[in-house]
Structures are given as C-alpha cells and as structure tokens.
Structure 1
Amino acid sequence: MTEVAAPVRLGRLLPVLGVANAVMFALYAGVGVLLGLNVEQLDPAGKVSSLGLISGIGAVFATVFNPVGGALSDRTRSRFGRRVPWMIGGSVAALGAMALMAGARSLFALAVGWCLAQAMMNLFQSALTAIVPDRVPEDNRGTASAVLGIMLSLGGVIGTLIAARFAANIPLGYLLFGALVVGAAVLVSVFARDSRPVEYTVAQRPRFLSAMRHRDFMWVFIGRTLMVLGYFMVLSFLLYILKDYVGLPPGMKPADAVARITLISTACSIVATLVGGPLSDKLNRRKAFVTVAGVVASLALLIPLLAPGWGLMMVFAMIHGSAFGLYFAVDIALATLVLPNPEDAARDLGVLNVAAAGPQIAAPFVASAVIQIGGGYAPLFGVALVLCLAGALAVLPIRSVR
C-alpha cells in the first residue's frame, strides 16, 4: 500500500502546486469567457443553446478522461515520477487543442477543439491533483487545501482578466492560456520532483467504480455533484446573465463585468479560505465547514433571484465567493480523507473529479432549458439554490471524517 512520501518539504511543494493549480483554473475560467464571446460571434441569435451544447459536450470529454488519466498515472513507472509524464503530455496536447480553437471558423470546429482541450487538460489535472494524497500528510491536508483553494480562486481572476484583455483577439488568448499550462507542467516537474518516484505499489487492474462501494466516498461524490451542478448552472451563463438580465453600468463591457465580479468573489474567497482551511486542521473538523459554507452559498442565490441589479450583484459576489471559497477549500481535504486505497489515489480522485466534471455536462443543458422554459434567467437561480442546499447537506451522513 502506498504511503505519503517522506520527507515532505511543504514549504516548497505547496507553492509550486499552487501556481500550477492557478494556471489550470485560469485556463478554465479564461477560456470559458473567450468561448462565450466566440460563440456569440459565430451564432449571435442562438448563443445560449450553442454555448450550452458546446460546453456540455466538452464536459463529457472531461468526465471520461479524468478518471482514465488518473488510472494511467497510478500505473506509470518513471524515473521522473508517475505523475510527470501525464502532466507534460497532457499540457502539450492541450496547447495543440488551443491552436485548433484559435483557427476555428465554425461552431463545429470550435466544439472539436474545446472537446480535445477538455480531454487533454483532464489528463494534466488528474496527475496534478493526485500529488496531494501522494505526498502531503493527512494532518496538513486542510492547510494544503487552503493554499490550493486560494490559488484556484486567483487563477479564476487572472483567467478572466486575461480573457477581458484578449476579447478583441480571441485566437491569441487561446494560445496564451495553452502556453501557460505547458509552463506550469514544466514548473512542477522540475521544482516539485517526487523524492521516491518508483516506490509506489501498482494495482493489477483499474476498477474505476470500486470506490463507490465505500459509503463515505459515495456521499462526498453526491455532495460535490449537487454543489458543482448548481454552481456551474449560473457560472456557465454569467456573461449573458450580466448583459441580458442584471444590466450593466453605461460603458461597461460584458467581459469587463465578468472580470470585476470574479475579482470581488475571489478576494472574499481568499479571506475565507485563509481562515477556514487551517482552522479545519486545528479543529480536525471538515463536515461542519463544508455544510455551513454550502448552506450560505445556496442562500446567497436569493439576491439575484429576488433583486437583480449591478450593485447587488457585487454584494452577491462577496457572499457567494466567501462561501464557495471555504466550501471548495475544505471539500478538497475531505475528499482526500475518504479515499479507500492510497495506491489508487489518482484513479479515485479522478472518479471524484467526475463529480466536478460530470455536472458540467448537465449544467449548460439544464440551465439552457430552465432559461428557455422559465422565460428568463430568474428561475435559474431558484433551481441552483435547491441543488446547492441539497449538496451542502449531503455530507452529513459521512462517518469516517468529523
């Protein structure tokens, strides 16, 4: 059975992992904005349904390739470490997919490029996220999760800010995000090398869904699925929500509005994460933090539901960002503590990541249907509220983690 590599130099490992996670999420957030703008250029009349379709199909590839990539990296033996080949290979292939998107002149070509990008980014992501259970001791998981949570939030801000600056040159923006991910993979490979890259036990056969037989693992999966679904139903259409539902101040461009909302949300998320992650380590409590954060995040959705407006959207961003920052930071620690088999850490984290990628398949389709059937964006917030609340309560039956 695999044990955490020792000695672990967290002072060096966590900053490097943090930068790589920030770059990864910058691509997801930034390309999300550029993709919305690109779709609007190619299909202004049907942008809602077209964006939902492309995002949903792309998420199918993310869902499949995350656990597959995790299982492959679990079974890789290399003098550079079992995660490195998949980080480097996935990032380089993702850059190639970004190049395809940059040259796309139709919705079909754009969809093909995004599907390939999602697939290759999830090879990179599955290997990157497995480094925490590989090498970080359990009593430091909350702190590690806080660091990674902060960097994910910063990545979202950086990504949307970059996207706003490249709104007039979308192809170059795609290429820049792809190049940054390659740089992140090289950074981790060089400066966070595993001290014992060939000493891990390799299981004989990848049984992808075996972890779902473990009760606590299953409840974490369910909770994350519901929370992410509610979150992405709103996030997937944030550009259009701000432009067509909330209304923007005179002269403000939609991409700049997304960047500003993201910046406010991230600043609050960082504060909440800085406090909540280490505090969950100190108190040895995970479930309470996840539940309270999820409940607050769901209730925050009442603001745009009942009183849409640019000023109140900034208030919403403060509350929602704080709650989700705390939720995702501690949820990462919770997920690593319910893994059934350490030797299959990347595979099982990949399965848990299906709970993040899978809802992204449904979110654009469900959100698009709610918007069109409900006659606008308001019903979207009501449905997202119910889903997030259910996700927050889903972790309560977990027994092995306090």
Structure 2
Amino acid sequence: MTTHELAQPNRPHTTATEPTQRGLMLLLLVANSSMLAVYMGVGAVLLPTHIASIDPANKVVILGVVGGVSSVFATAFNPIAGALSDRTGRRNPWILGGALASLAGLAFLGNVHTALLVGIGWCLVQATMNVYQAAVTAVVPDRIPRARRGTASALVGLGLPIGGSLGVLLGSQMERDLRTGYLLFGAIVAGAALLMTVFCRDLPRRAPAPAAPRGVQVAAFLSALSHRDFRWAFIGRALMVLGYFSVIGYQLYILDDHIALPDGMRPATAMAILTPVSMLAMAVSTVVGGVLSDRWNRRKVFVGVSAALAGLVMAVPVISPTWTGMLVFSALNGLAFGCFMAVDTAVVTLVLPSAEDAARDMGVLNIANAGPQIVAPFVASAVVTALGGYTPLFLVGGALSLIGALAILPIRGVR
C-alpha cells in the first residue's frame, strides 16, 4: 500500500446502534468539553488556589514543580494508552476507565492538605485523564472522512471554549469549597464518558497484532516522527502549546500580582470574566477557521497566521498591564489559539503515516500537547523568579508562538 492509501481510514459506517456523523460529532464535542473543563477548572483555578492556601509564599515555585512533574505523567500515559487502544481495537473501555479513574483521583485530591499530596493527586488525575483523552482523540481519524476533517476538528475544537469557560466559571464558584469542586469536575467527565460509550459503539474489533520485541515496539511507537510532514506538525504544535501554557498556566497569579484590577475584584472573579471573553472568541475562530479551511482546501495559511497572531498579542499586557489590556489580550489570544488548534488538528489527521495506528500516532502527537506542559511550569517559574516579574514571561511566550508559526512552512502534504 502507498502512504496515501495508508492515510485513508475506513469510511465510517452506521447501523441502527451507531450514531450518525452529526450525532458522533456532538458526542465528541461533549467528551472534549468535559475534558477541557477538568483541565481548565482544576488546573487553572482549583489547583493554584489549593497550593496558595497551603504555602502562599512559595506558590509560584510549587505550582511550577507540580505542573511540570504531573505533565510527565500526561506525556507518558497518553501515547501508551493510545497504543494499547490500537492494539485492542477498542476505544470505549479506555474512555470509560480513564474517566472513572479520574473521578477517583479528583476525590483524593479534594481530601489532601500538603503540597506533596496535592502533587501526587494531580499526577494521578493527569495520568488517568490522558488515558481518556487518547481514546477520544482517536475517534476522529477512526470514523470521520478526510474531506470533513476540518469541520469535525472545528466542532471538536469547540470543546476548549465551551469546556474551558464552564470549567473556569465552576472553579471560580468553588474556590472556597475545594472538595466539592474536585468532585463536581470528576462527575462531569464520568458523565460524558458514559454518554460516549453508551451511544457510540466501538467499531468491529480487529484481531490484535502479534506481540513484537520491546525495542521494535519503541521504534514503531516513535516511527511517526520519521515522516517529515508529521515531524514538522509536531514541532509547530509543541512550540505553540509551550508559548500558550507558559502564560495561561499562571494567569491566576498574574491577575493577583501583576495586573491592576478594578477595586474590589478578586483574581478568581477576574478569571471568570476573562475566560468567557477568550473562549467566545476561540469558539468563533474555531468554527470559521475549520469550515473555511475545508471550503478553500487550505490549511497552512490558517495555522501560520493564527500562530503568529498568538505570539504578537502577548505584547498587549506588557504595554498595558491593566484590566482593559487583559480583556483585549484575552479576546485576541482566544481568536488566535482557537483557529490554530482547529485547523492544526485537521492538518495532523491528514499527515498521519498510518490509519491502522491512528491512536498510537495521535498519542505521539499529544506529546506535543503534554510535553511542553512539562517544560512550561519550570520555564514560567524560572522566568518570573529570575527575571523579576511577569513581563518577561509574556515576551518569552510570544517568542515561542512566533517560532511555532514558522514550523508550518516546511509541510508539503497539506496546502
């Protein structure tokens, strides 16, 4: 078979027990929204609040260590779970199992009171949520035709503005009742997993491939990076995510220590306002970018321009460290990141080396999502403490996104 033929997944087929493509996309939207609600609501609000309540003097350093170490677990578990999902030919057991395990991890996190145990709990949640994420991510290349990947990726990409907004709004309401907040987010992702597994049956199970020596398995696991287009898509995604999370991961502390908020406004309240602004802009650009990239059959220009814009808007809070400046920054950053993630996801599904190993290769790509999050907390913490504030952090994040914009240029297999 040619590489082009391998990149073509089996065309989706529906039976009386399977959802239509429209129904499938709705289920994927719910599944991704719940996942992003956990990542944003817990990771951006409850976790920083929890750490600040334990050790306010060292909150920046502790958050950096907890975020960095937990992202190692995310990076490892996502591709491993993807490869195991490919091997078993099943997605639903991994979706449901990952969600229920995350519920248990969040329940544990809500009952600990030391920085060490908070770190352990968040590592457990990151690991189990990435089992869930790996299986959910693989459904698009499994079932969606190539011609509709941009639209599907756009709809799935709405999970970030919808789930992110919901997560931050709920998190800001639960900042004084952390135990209930953690349980609420666990219930949300478990409910979404139940919907997905009940209404979206697994495709007919493939016979598992014969077991290969461990060295061969490792080489096969990383083989996608030997493909030129996939490698450049990986690099661009990694740089963009690193630039984004270097800043967004510290937004609660930025609002507390750097931005001049209106009198009487708490940082968590400010986040509850800024996040819907960013996410609404993200939702618009996600849909518009995904649909137009399908209609015009052009992907690279959307990805490159949105990454460049994400880099440039990091200068806004540097020039204007005010509430108005943060509102402008949030709107423009949402526009840029939403378009990038929607169309870049379509690019990746179009340059996958093999349809048979879609979950494994998407898991490798998800290293570009989780891996930079290992580095981001350490980088952000070092920049803030060594260079004396958050202005250098915005500049570093902007530079990383601008470099990421250049990585799309060498990709040849997508216009």
Q: TM-score, normalised by structure 2?
A: 0.93
1:280-322 per-position Cα deviation (integer Å, ceiling 9, x unaligned): 0011111110001111111111101222110111011111111
Q: Which residue of 1 aligns with 2:102?
A: 94
Deviation at 1:9, TM superposition (A): 2.0
Structure-1 residue corresponding to 2:127 = 119
1:371 equivalenced with 2:384 (yes/no): yes
Work out whether residues 25 and 159 of structure 1, in 8 Å CA contact, stay in contact via their aligned partners in 2: yes
Q: Which runs of 5+ in 2 are unaligned?
A: 1-5
- Matching of residue 16 in structure 1 with residue 27 in structure 2: yes
Alignment counterpart, residue 128 of structure 1, candidates 129, 136, 139: 136
Asked if residue 276 in structure 1 is aligned to residue 284 in structure 2, the reply is: no
1:39 pairs with one of 51, 62, 71: 51
Q: How big is the shift at 1:151?
A: 2.3
Residue in structure 1 matched with residue 276 of structure 2 by the alignment = 263
Name the count of aligned residue pairs.
397
Partner residue of 2:255 out of 225, 237, 242 = 242
Q: Distance in 2 between matches of 1:301 and 1:267?
A: 19
Distance 2:397 2:180 in 1: 34
Counterpart-to-counterpart distance in 2, 1:168 and 1:376 = 27
2:153 alignment counterpart:
145
Distance, in Å, in 2 between the alignment partners of 1:234 and 1:296 is: 15
Contact 2:160 2:279 in 1 (8 A): no
- Residue from 41, 63, 78 that aligns with 1:30: 41
In the TM superposition, residue 365 of structure 1 has moved relative to its aligned partner by: 0.3
Q: Aligned residue for 2:3?
A: none
Residue 285 (structure 1) aligned to one of 295, 298, 304: 298
Q: Secondary structure at the match of 1:301?
A: helix
Distance 1:171 1:161 in 2: 16
2:347 to 334, 354, 357: 334
Structure 1 residue 200: deviation in Å?
A: 7.2
Task: Give the AA of the match of 2:31.
Answer: A
Spell out, residue by residue over 1:62-115, the C-alpha distance to the aligned partner (whole angstroms, 9 max, x if none).
0000000000000114xxxx0011111111111111111011111111111100
Q: Which amino acid aligns with 1:241?
A: I
Cα drift, residue 253 of structure 1 = 1.4
Contact 2:88 2:206 in 1 (8 A): no
CA contact (8 A) 1:203 1:344 kept: no
Q: Distance in 2 between matches of 1:119 and 1:151?
A: 20
1:247 deviation in Å?
2.1
Q: Which runs of 5 or more residues in structure 1 are unaligned?
A: none
The 1-side partners of 2:80 and 2:269 are apart by 37
Q: Is the 8 A contact 1:25 1:155 kept in 2?
A: yes
CA contact (8 A) 1:201 1:343 kept: no
- TM-score, scaled relative to structure 1: 0.96
The match for 1:301 is 314
Partner of residue 173 from structure 1, selected from 165, 178, 181: 181
Root-mean-square deviation (Å): 1.3
Q: Which moved more, 1:28-37 or 1:270-279?
A: 270-279
Would you say the 8 A contact 1:200–1:343 is kept in 2?
A: no
SS in structure 1 of the partner of residue 357 of structure 2: helix
1:192 maps to 200
